[in-house]
Amino acid sequence: MKLPVNPEKIVQFKGMREPLSLQAVIKESNRCLLCFDAPCSEGCPAGTDPAKFIRQIKFYNYKGAARTIRNNNILGSVCAFVCPVEKLCEKKCSIKALEDPINISGLQRFASEYGQRFEIEPPAQSLKSEGRIAIIGGGPAGMGCASALAKMDYEVTVFERENLTGGVPRWNIPGFRLPEEALVYDVKNLISQGVEIRHKSPVETPEAVTNLLAEGYDSVFISSGLSVAFKLDMLNGYSNVTDYITFLRKVKFGNESLNLKNKNVAIIGGGSVAIDSAVSAKACGANKVYLISLEHLSELPADKEEINLARIMDIIFKSGSQITGVVENENGLSGLTGIETDWIEPGKFIPLNARQISGTEFRINIDLVVQAIGTKPGNEIMILAKGLKTIGKGIIEVNEDFETNIPGVFAGGDVVNGGATVVQAVGEGKKAAQSIDNFLKNRRTSK
Ligand SMILES: Cc1cc2nc3c(=O)[nH]c(=O)nc-3n(C[C@H](O)[C@H](O)[C@H](O)COP(=O)(O)OP(=O)(O)OC[C@H]3O[C@@H](n4cnc5c(N)ncnc54)[C@H](O)[C@@H]3O)c2cc1C
Ligand code: SF4
C-alpha cells in the first residue's frame, strides 16, 4: 500500500509521496511473516529479493538492506518509485490474505535512501578478465545486463545515443513520480563497477553489430528500447500536435518553453503514458486537459492508482470517444471534433471495432494535442546485423535465453517484450548476462 500523493509536489515536479517515517518502517517490517518460501521475492522480475531486505530492515540492519537491493538490482532506487508493486511483489505478499500487503516499495525506498545518506561502500569493480561485451542502449535493460556482467568480471562498454544514461526513466518518467536523485545514484553505482558508458554514441549503421563483433567484442547485447511514437494520419503536419515521447521530454528538460498557462490540451490515449502526459500538462499550468480514448473509463489500460491521480488533477475524461476531425484557424489546428462510441464486439478494444453513436458529436477548443497511442523500435534496429530476425514492427525475436538468431548477439527489454516495466527490463538484462556468460564459457570449452 502506497502513501497518498501530495498535489502540491506534483505541480513542482517533486516526488509526490513522502518517504515512510522511521516509525512506519519499523511497523511495516514487523508485519512481515518471514515466509519460508517468500512469494514476494518470486514476484520481483529483477530478483531484488524483498524477503531478504525486509528481514534485514526488521532486524535493524539498514545498511545490509541497502546492499541487498543494490547488489540484486542496479536500478533498485528507481524501482522503489516506479514499480507497479500491486501487480508484482506486493501482489504475492502472504499477509494479503489477512490485511493490506506490506508496503514493499516504501521499505525499498527507505533502505536505498539510507544507503545513500550513510554512504555504503561502492560496489566492487570488475576485474575485466573474462572478455569484452558491447551493450547498445543505456536504459534499464542495458544497465541490468552491464551490472550483472561487470559482477562476473567482464569488460563492458555501453554505447548510448543520448548524452545521459538511464533511458525512459531519465527522459520521460515525470519528476513527480521519479525524483532525479534516485536515478543519479543508480547510474553512479554502475559506473563504480567499472562499466564504460560512451554517450552520444548511437549504434545505427548497417552491419554495426557485425562490425562490433569483428572489432573484438565477444558478444553484443541490444537494449535500444522503443523510440518511435505512433501517430494518427489526420493529425499530421500541424505544429501544435506532438507525441508523448517528445512532450514528456520537453516537460522534464525545459517546461518553460512549453508555455501551457491557460491553454487547453488534448491527450489521445488511455494508458499509463497518456495519464503521465495529462497530469504533466496540468502541472505545467494548462487550463483544461482532456484525455480522449476509445476505451470507456472502466476499460482504460491505465491502472486505478493512475486514474485516481488524473482525477486529483482535474483531468477531463472523454472516454469511449473517437476523434473524427480537426478544426482549423489561421494558426493551424484550433480544435478537435469527435463522437462517442461503443464496441461492435464486446472486449475487443481496437479502432476497427468501434461503433459511432449518432447524436453524441462534440467539438472542443484545443491549443495542443499530445498523441499517446504507442511506440515501436527505431527503424535502424533492422539493419544492425545482416539477417537479424525481427517480428512485427521491428521487435527483435529471441529465444528463452534472450539470444537472437545470430550467435553471440543477445537482446532484451522493451525492444524484445514490446514495452513493459523498468523492473522487467532490468530482469531481462540480468538473464541475458547469464546467457552471455554461459555462451562464452561453452565456446571456450568447445575450442
Ligand atoms: C512515459 C513513460 C512512463 C513509464 N512509467 C513507468 C513506470 O512508472 N514504471 C515502470 O516500471 N515502467 C514505466 N515505463 C516503462 C519503462 O520505462 C520501460 O519499460 C523501460 O524503460 C524499458 O527499458 P529499456 O532499457 O528496454 O529501454 P529504454 O528505457 O527505452 O532505453 C533504451 C536506451 O537505448 C538508447 N538507444 C536507443 N537506440 C539506440 C541506438 N541505436 N544506439 C545507442 N543507443 C540507443 C536510448 O537512448 C535509451 O537510453 C514508462 C514508460 C514511459 C514511456
Ligand atoms: S524491484 Fe520492484 S517488484 Fe522488485 S521487490 Fe522492489 S518494488 Fe517489488
Instruction: Using the predicted structure, report yes or no on whether residue 255 has a pLDDT greater than 80.
Output: no
Instruction: Write down the domain spans for the chain.
Output: 7-117, 132-226+377-446, 229-375
**What does the pLDDT read at residue 174?**
96
* 256 band by pLDDT with thresholds 50, 70 and 90: low
Average pLDDT in the 81-85 region? 96
Give dist(CA 411, CA 433) in Å, integer. 10
CATH architecture of 229-375: 3-Layer(bba) Sandwich (3.50)
Q: Higher confidence at residue 407 or residue 447?
A: 407
**Residues 327, 235 contacting (CB under 8 angstroms):** no
* 331 band by pLDDT with thresholds 50, 70 and 90: confident
- Cβ–ligand 2 distance for 111 under 6 Å, the answer no
Residue 326's φ and ψ, nearest 5 degrees, are -120, 140
Give dist(CA 350, CA 10) in Å, integer. 32
Give dist(CA 323, CA 268) in Å, integer. 9
**What does the pLDDT read at residue 206?**
92
Which ligand is in closest contact with the Cα of 199?
1
Give dist(CA 388, CA 386) in Å, integer. 6
Show the cell assigned to 229.
511514437
The residues, any chain, with a CB within 8 Å of residue 231's CB and separated by 6 or more, are: 243, 371, 373
Atom of ligand 1 nearest to the CA of 204: 41
Instruction: Using the predicted structure, report yes or no on whether residue 233 has a pLDDT greater than 60.
Output: yes
- Cβ–ligand 2 distance for 48 under 6 Å, the answer yes
Instruction: Using the predicted structure, report yes or no on whether residue 369 has a pLDDT greater than 60.
Output: yes
At the top level of CATH, the class of 7-117 is mainly alpha
Average pLDDT in the 372-379 region? 94
Give the percent of the chain with pLDDT over 90: 90
State how far the alpha carbon of 51 is from the alpha carbons of 63, 65, 137, 193, in Å. 15, 10, 31, 25
Assess whether the region 7-117 and the region 229-375 belong to the same CATH fold.
no
Nearest to 219 by CA among 9, 85, 66, 407: 407
Residues contacting ligand 1 via CB (< 6 Å): 82-83, 136-142, 159-162, 167-169, 172-173, 177, 202-204, 223-225, 227, 248, 272-273, 276, 378, 380, 413-415, 419-423, 425
Which ligand is in closest contact with the Cα of 394?
1
Instruction: Using the predicted structure, report yes or no on whether residue 3 has a pLDDT greater than 80.
Output: no
**What does the pLDDT read at residue 303?**
86
Give dist(CA 255, CA 277) in Å, integer. 13
* 257 band by pLDDT with thresholds 50, 70 and 90: low
CATH topology of domain 132-226+377-446: FAD/NAD(P)-binding domain (3.50.50)
Nearest to 306 by CA among 1, 92, 5, 8: 5
- Cβ–ligand 2 distance for 423 under 6 Å, the answer yes
Q: How many Å from the N-terminal Cα to the C-terminal Cα in the chain?
A: 53
Global pTM reads 0.96
State how far the alpha carbon of 370 is from the alpha carbons of 168, 235, 273, in Å. 18, 10, 11
Instruction: Using the predicted structure, report yes or no on whether residue 44 has a pLDDT greater than 90.
Output: yes
